[in-house]
Structure 1
Amino acid sequence: MKNILPPSTSVSIVLGVVIALGVLWGLPPKPASTQSAAFQEVAVPVQTRLQGMETGPVSYAQAVQEAAPAVVNIYTTKIIEEQVHPILNDPFFRQWFGYHSEPRRQQRLQSSLGSGVIVSHEGYILTNHHVIQDADEIRVALRDGRETFAHIVGVDPDTDLAVLKVDLQRLPVIRISASDQIQVGDVVLAIGNPFGVGQTVTQGIISATGRNSLGINTFEDFIQTDAAINPGNSGGALINAYGELVGINTAIFSRSGGSQGIGFAVPSNLARRTMSDIIRYGYVVRGWLGIEVQDMNAHLWRLFKIPPQEGGILVTAIVPEGPAHQAGLLPGDILLQLNGQNIENARELMNLIAGTAPTTQVKLKVLRNQAYYQAQAQIAERPHSPQEVQLHPEKQ
């Protein structure tokens, strides 16, 4: 039997429900602790994700304390001879201007500044070649206040690196990290002496790696960073968040002469290999194949009737009796691979060959007259002209 409420009771119930809904609608939301289990389950993963993002340190002071003592200021001086006006070479005009004999060339001192990094307790310092190029005197100032003369162990203009040596005790030494472990987005700090104001630290990230074809050096494999690098920073340290050296600051891209967020550093791996060769041999030992090459382009692909996906580079000249000549290569060959690695451009090939030890046997994949063949060559040592540059304190 159905239980039917009287009409008056039904109206009262409906009014009560409407009033209750109105009261609930106006109340503030419950605190998080009283929310339902479903809402709490959604909130937990969001909090965990935000906490996981807070991985960067609040300060890089520890990294700077580790590395900065090993970064030095470098002051160079060279003697510049003023050119005598050609008209004074004539005895008549010399007398006219009051010169009774051939005028002596005036000399003046030109000073410049840069930075360097102490990399061993024996006093070896890495810097840029352009920092000390043609210098008659080199002074090094440490962060602890000590100053001394330095002499040049050797230079490598092809990578714009130089190795100096100082004779001091208890030298601070920077730790060197493998630059092939860095990644785009890693935090880096640049330490140097910009504009001679004193040691300065700037912070940024690694913007790119493996930058080349910039026309700065013969061999390029730059780290690009947006850490501010200015004149005077050259030769200074680019370090990671742990205070380890990952690069030697070398150049900036700028239309104004100041930092515009595009700086370049020589990777520590390349700098370390260069330094080791300079200390051991006085110059850098590099591989050499004895060829001149040119990048392929659309016109050459059509001319040789090969698809662009083949890649490769065109051999334009062969050095007589060089490794490539002895291996049977000819001008007009298209070099596709070196030891199974595809060759995309001439600079890539040059870096591969230069990094190969002399006497190493390499396999070459070559395309000639639309036919493929394999050649084997023995890498030779790249010709060099070692520079006799020894500046000793007692001779300055």
Structure 2
Amino acid sequence: MAPDADMQTRRAMRFLLTYSLLGMVAAAVIIWFFPGVLGLPGEPLRTITVQQAPETAAGEDGQPVREQGPASYADAVDAAAPAVVNIFTATRVARGEHSMYDDPLFREFFGDRDQDEEQTDTNLGSGVIVSDSGFILTSNHIVEGADAIQVSLNDGRAVEAQVVGTDPETDLAVLAIDMDDLPVITLGRSEELRVGDVVLAIGNPFGVGQTVTQGIVSATGRSRLGLTTFENFIQTDAAINPGNSGGALINAHGELVGINTAIFSRSGGSHGIGFAIPAVLAQGVMESIIEEGRVIRGWAGVEVQDITRSLAESFELDSRDGVLIAGIMRDGPADAAGLRPGDIVLSVDGEELRNSQDLLMRITERSPETTVSIVVLRDGEAFEQELTVQERPTAGELRRQ
């Protein structure tokens, strides 16, 4: 064989051996690290599973048809707005009751007038007609101490209103008017509200006239805000301004889900944080006022506080659940049940407590003379105790105790 032919043969053999070796190495790597590729036993291939939205149906034009919310909430407003009223109040006060009359500069400018002279303070707000018998729900702080209350309907009619009863601890009041053919709002199920639901606020902000604003439910069950004793607020970003208090918060169907009561603001205007009393709570207060003449609630006769981190450490608690009893009202239900300051209440009738607001709500929703079972932690030992609920005294009576 010629030398040139022999050299070409060796080069061809070297080429084949080199790539055969590389192929065997690659095969070994695949078999070692990815046995599933060749159907060999071993770990299965990792796959990524995602939740994919279903395909959107196509319309007549072949384009996807996407679901949309209503383009207008006019039907909801038409259903609810006639039952939302404007409320104007007048209160006679002696000039001497204003601290500014004690200011020497003020008296020098206006003269030393008789401080016994009366002047009239006015206030405005909103309300909601909830019964064709003429009952109106509104905020207590609008009508508190008023000498005269006028209600103006959306249809232009106006009439004087009487106070049926008030509940300062929820900032609710019930008024009554005598008028025929009254529009009435439908009460929705506020307990079914979800964060993200569309809501509309209807009222009389700044006295400009009935106004509708739209937003969503930002949160539910808001408490410990320091606004009222019993707090279970709906939070919304629908614009609420002074004059909206007592007005309606409705859902997209025009049903009442809350009574607007307060805003969080540093300037007095709307910052997108408003609060409404749930309709289910307002309805219970209204019915109690109309039927009983007052709001009847249960009472345990205790002063309580939340379990802080430092308290949990000092009591060697595993969690901060429960409520610490800081004080006992003499001859009250807790006193009769043998509870002591320093006890920690863990549950009421099997419902665990996270904070003092939980205990307040669990007890106040019980009727007087109802016996509840509570679990108490004392000196590291838990035990069950029965407590007979009494009727809660008024806020004034509680302050005097």
| TM-score between the two structures when normalised by the length of structure 2 | 0.79
Which residue of the partner structure matches residue 25 of structure 1?
none
Post-superposition shift, 1:86? Answer: 7.0
| Separation in structure 2 between the aligned mates of residue 351 and residue 367 of structure 1, nearest angstrom | 20
Letter in 1 for 2:269: G
Over 3 Å counting, the alpha-carbon distance change for 1:52 and 1:289 in structure 2 is farther
Residues 36-78 of structure 1, C-alpha deviations (whole Å, 9 max, x = no match): xxxxxx9991456997852411111111111000000001111
Post-superposition shift, 1:103? Answer: 3.9
Which residue of the partner structure matches residue 242 of structure 2?
231
What stretches of structure 1 of length at least 5 have no aligned partner? 1-41, 89-97, 388-396
Which residue of the partner structure matches residue 182 of structure 1?
193
Residues 291-350 of structure 1, C-alpha deviations (whole Å, 9 max, x = no match): 1112111222222222226x2111121122221122221111111111111111111211
1:62 alignment partner, one of 71, 75, 97: 75
Over 3 Å counting, the alpha-carbon distance change for 1:121 and 1:339 in structure 2 is same
Identity %: 53
Which residue of the partner structure matches residue 355 of structure 1?
365
1:119 alignment partner, one of 130, 133, 138: 130
SS in 1 for 2:55: helix
1:133 alignment partner, one of 144, 165, 175: 144
Structure number with higher relative contact order (C-alpha < 8 Å, ≥ 6 residues apart)? 1
2:218 alignment partner, one of 189, 204, 207: 207
| Separation in structure 1 between the aligned mates of residue 123 and residue 69 of structure 2, nearest angstrom | 37
Letter in 1 for 2:340: L
| Separation in structure 2 between the aligned mates of residue 332 and residue 217 of structure 1, nearest angstrom | 26
| Separation in structure 1 between the aligned mates of residue 55 and residue 394 of structure 2, nearest angstrom | 62
**For the Cα contact (< 8 Å) 2:323–2:356, is it kept in 1?**
yes
| Separation in structure 2 between the aligned mates of residue 335 and residue 125 of structure 1, nearest angstrom | 39
SS in 1 for 2:120: strand
Over 3 Å counting, the alpha-carbon distance change for 1:302 and 1:123 in structure 2 is same
SS in 2 for 1:184: coil
| Separation in structure 2 between the aligned mates of residue 43 and residue 286 of structure 1, nearest angstrom | 49
What stretches of structure 2 of length at least 5 have no aligned partner? 1-51, 105-110
Over 3 Å counting, the alpha-carbon distance change for 1:207 and 1:53 in structure 2 is farther
Letter in 2 for 1:188: V
- Does residue 1:379 correspond to 2:392, yes or no? no
Q: Mean alpha-carbon deviation: is it higher for 141-150 or for 300-309? A: 300-309
| Separation in structure 2 between the aligned mates of residue 103 and residue 254 of structure 1, nearest angstrom | 38
Indicate the RMSD between aligned Cα atoms, in angstroms.
Answer: 2.6
- Does residue 1:222 correspond to 2:227, yes or no? no
| Separation in structure 1 between the aligned mates of residue 128 and residue 54 of structure 2, nearest angstrom | 48
SS in 1 for 2:149: strand
| Separation in structure 1 between the aligned mates of residue 304 and residue 76 of structure 2, nearest angstrom | 44
1:326 alignment partner, one of 325, 329, 336: 336
Over 3 Å counting, the alpha-carbon distance change for 1:331 and 1:386 in structure 2 is closer
Letter in 2 for 1:368: R
Residues 122-145 of structure 1, C-alpha deviations (whole Å, 9 max, x = no match): 100000001111111100000111
Over 3 Å counting, the alpha-carbon distance change for 1:295 and 1:44 in structure 2 is closer
Letter in 2 for 1:247: G
Which residue of the partner structure matches residue 305 of structure 2?
294
| Separation in structure 2 between the aligned mates of residue 87 and residue 303 of structure 1, nearest angstrom | 51
| Separation in structure 2 between the aligned mates of residue 167 and residue 104 of structure 1, nearest angstrom | 38
- Does residue 1:264 correspond to 2:275, yes or no? yes
Which residue of the partner structure matches residue 33 of structure 2?
none
**For the Cα contact (< 8 Å) 2:96–2:115, is it kept in 1?**
no
Which residue of the partner structure matches residue 275 of structure 1?
286
2:378 alignment partner, one of 368, 371, 396: 368
| Separation in structure 1 between the aligned mates of residue 93 and residue 369 of structure 2, nearest angstrom | 44
Which residue of the partner structure matches residue 95 of structure 2?
82
Number of residue pairs the alignment of both structures matches: 335
Runs ≥4 in structure 1, deviation > 6 angstroms? 48-52, 84-88
| TM-score between the two structures when normalised by the length of structure 1 | 0.80
Letter in 2 for 1:76: T
Which residue of the partner structure matches residue 13 of structure 1?
none
SS in 2 for 1:83: helix
Post-superposition shift, 1:281? Answer: 1.5
